[in-house]
Amino acid sequence: MLISIVRGLAFASFASLAFAVPLACAQSYRCNAGGTTYLSDRPCGGESNRTRIGIYGPSRAAPATPYSSQVPDAPRAQEHIKYLPSGCASIVEAIRTAPTRGARSEVVRGLQEEYDQKCQLEDQEARNQLRQEKTQQQQRKLAERDGAQRERQQAALRADQCANMRDVIALKRKRESQLNGKEVEALRELEKSFNDRCIAR
């Protein structure tokens, strides 16, 4: 008999806890009716008589931020590729873009071995052509720089010569009345040279 009573009490306690959990997680309202305040799990009849107490129970966990792996950028294409045959250039491009395509390391290793076997000589030739191109570009830049420097030097020299000729012409014109025929003729030639060299330019 005692055992039955104990079991009954245990079942009643378990049942009360089972019903208490949903109630603890429900919303509660403080209502006022006829001057009497009471708690209710449902909204009160009048909006003015309703006061929301809050939500009981464990708070909801924030949703986890989904993980996204960043795809690595492909390295810059090598300059000598433009001199490679199309087959070799395709293999080089496949190796370069392998990280962005998610290719496995053994795939990349296989492509590299294939390139070394098939395109070793072509690779050397392409790199030699690239070096020659860069050398020619550097030579053109040096030639352009030297040419610009020579032009500046010649312009400075021409300016000095024109300044000297202008001074001589001005001096001779001041005393032109004292010059003989040959000196006047020389002055006219100097003026013509000055006009052709310094004014026409």
Q: Could you read off the pLDDT tens digit of each residue along the chain, which spans 201 residues?
A: 434 444 454 444 444 444 444 444 456 666 766 666 666 667 776 544 445 544 445 555 555 555 555 667 888 889 999 999 999 999 999 999 998 888 899 999 999 999 999 999 999 999 999 999 999 999 999 999 999 999 999 999 989 999 999 999 999 898 888 889 898 899 899 999 999 888 866
* 60 inside domain: no
The torsion angles phi and psi of 47, rounded to 5 degrees, stand at -65, -35
Do 93 and 143 lie in one domain? The reply is: no
d(CA 79, CA 126): 9
Do 107 and 129 lie in one domain? The reply is: no
* Residue 151 tokens, joined: 């032009």
Closest residue by Cα to residue 72 from 111, 123, 108: 108
Q: Quick check: 125 and 83 in contact, CB under 8 A?
A: yes
Do 148 and 108 lie in one domain? The reply is: no
pLDDT of residue 138: 94
Do 152 and 179 lie in one domain? The reply is: yes
pLDDT of residue 179: 86
d(CA 191, CA 186): 9
Do 92 and 129 lie in one domain? The reply is: no
Do 195 and 142 lie in one domain? The reply is: yes
Q: How many domains does the chain have?
A: 3
Identify the domain containing residue 102 by its residue range: 79-118
* 3 inside domain: no
CA contacts within 13 A on the Cβ side of 30:
6
* 1 inside domain: no
Residue with tokens 């390295």, as numbered in its chain: 75
pLDDT of residue 34: 61
pLDDT of residue 199: 84
Do 96 and 135 lie in one domain? The reply is: no
Do 195 and 131 lie in one domain? The reply is: yes
Do 151 and 181 lie in one domain? The reply is: yes
* 69 inside domain: no
* 44 inside domain: yes
